[in-house]
Amino acid sequence: MADFPEPTMIKSNGIDMAIYEAGPKDGLPVVLCHGFPELAYSWRHQLPVLAGAGYRVIAPGQRGYGGTNRAEKIEDYDIPHLTGDLAGMLDALGLGKAVFVGRDWGGIVVWSMPLLHPDRVLGVIGVNTPFFARPAIDPIAGMRAMRGENNYVVFFQKPGEADEILARDVGKSFRFFMRRNMATAKEFASAPQEAKNFELVRAVQEDESNWRGSPLLTDDEMKYFVDTYKRTGFTGGINWYRNLTRNWELSKNIEQKVKVPSLMIMAENDVVLPPSLTEGMERYVPDLEKVLIEDSGHWTQQEKPAETSRAMIDWLERRFG
């Protein structure tokens, strides 16, 4: 906790944004973008290490999260808004370009940056989240057909419902989400189909004794997340999911090509975003390196912080000096 800085408030893209910075102001800017249900605090292990290696590290609390504004309209959380927030953040800080790092939903945003704001991007690091080329059909329709109505992404499309369920007992919700050793990739592969539908909103309401794995966070870390979400609720982050169809429609005429140096950090036992999803990425991301972090589940930068930081710094030093 001691190494995590206090936020600075900036104006970006029409919102007030909380950012957390470390490292020399003249260092290469590296922007760390969190996923759901995370916070900029999810990068607490990486900030001091990257700063110590000479990088100017910036972890934004993204739209709808933490101390950053929570817009009212669902469509205010689409990809043009989310990438526009990052470009506006660079403007506010007087920076031209940065390397963008993203995990989970943050990964979707940072892979979109070179498509929508190519002049602001030096490179991209995806953590767990690969580059997803535009699918042939609406992604929600595809998810519904494949995994059913109770898949969490499909369930999230109903305004207000999941938000209310997760906020009923924020502590329980975070004890459910932030777990390690849930299943190995091998165990998951042999599980019955219903176990692969990710019916997380149903599972979070079950008795905790039914949950697999073990707690990931210390008591202090858990308190940071829980206190924040008790104040903000979950709607901001869930609204990102409610734009998946809109994002798909908006991307119709955008070339699916990432033309900057890129690194893909994969987690061996992430069953939500498995390494197999990165197969064929080179077609869309020609200048790509891949690193596998063994024995890590979904929360890679928090589960395997040293390995994640090492992979990032090794690539940054080789590609940007």
Residue 78 is among the residues annotated as catalytic for this protein: no
Of 278, 236, 312, give the one whose Cα is nearest residue 61.
236
For the record, the structure tokens of 177 come out as 């989400």
Residue 298 is among the residues annotated as catalytic for this protein: yes
Catalytic residue selected from 34, 45, 81, 298: 298
Catalytic residue selected from 78, 85, 104, 270: 104
For the record, the structure tokens of 198 come out as 């990710």
Q: DSSP of 233-265, one letter per residue?
A: -SHHHHHHHTTHHHHHHHTTTS-----S-EEEE
CB 143 within 8 A of CB 196: no
User: What residues contact 317, with CB distance under 8 A and at least 6 apart?
Assistant: 53
Q: Can you tell me whether residue 273 is helix, strand or coil?
A: coil
Q: Can you tell me whether residue 130 is helix, strand or coil?
A: coil
Question: Which residues are registered as beta bridge partners of 291?
Answer: 265
Q: DSSP of 63-117, one letter per residue?
A: TTSTTS---SSGGGGSHHHHHHHHHHHHHHHT-S-EEEEEETHHHHHHHHHHHH-
Positive/negative CA dihedral, 110, 160, 301, 61: positive
Radius of gyration of the chain (CA): 18
> Which residues are annotated as catalytic?
104, 298
